[in-house]
Amino acid sequence: MHIAHRPTAYTHTAQTYSPLMNPLHIHPSNPQATQRRASRVGRLPRWQRLSTYAMLIGCALSGVLFFIAHDADVNVTGLPPQSLLMWHGISAQGALLAMGAVMPTHIRLAWNARRNRTTGVLLCSLLGVLMASGLCLYYGGEDLREATVWSHWVLGGAGLLLFPLHAVWGQRQVHAAKS
């Protein structure tokens, strides 16, 4: 049985422009659009950027509030420390979801464009170690608990500084590319 080749909607000739052939949707006849799009490589869509910020801020805020309530014995929320820890665990799951959501696009495209690599690698590494230490706190034994608690606090505090630094440096690189 012989099946004849049928052209499909994805068949292109050299003269045809198609967004499918160009994932950044840069039309070759518009160099300004090419430069503008190239400066935005790896930038998250607004909805994804804001939801990622919200998840990471929620995780950081609940972690700081738990630290203050549990270790400093100052309860500013009126919630018991166990509730704050529960909210920290829930928001950490959201932060992990956000991390997984930005990997296929933001991280890959920015890496290939050689943008913000230093803070990006540091941030990914930091989030990975925080995830591992969180799992050790939940499932680990008592013998390493104290060291794990303090490393989680210190690394979480470093994340409070590193994430805004990563975002600001990324914005500066985008603005520098536009100039």
Per residue in 119-177, pLDDT (tens digit) is: 999 999 999 999 999 999 999 989 999 999 999 999 999 999 999 999 898 887 766 76
Predicted TM-score of the model (pTM):
0.72
Q: What is the CA radius of gyration of the chain?
A: 22
Per residue in 68-125, pLDDT (tens digit) is: 999 888 989 999 999 999 999 999 999 999 999 988 888 898 889 888 899 999 999 9
**Cα 59 → chain centroid:** 13
Which residues are CB-contacts of 124 (< 8 A; sequence separation ≥ 6)?
A: 99, 107
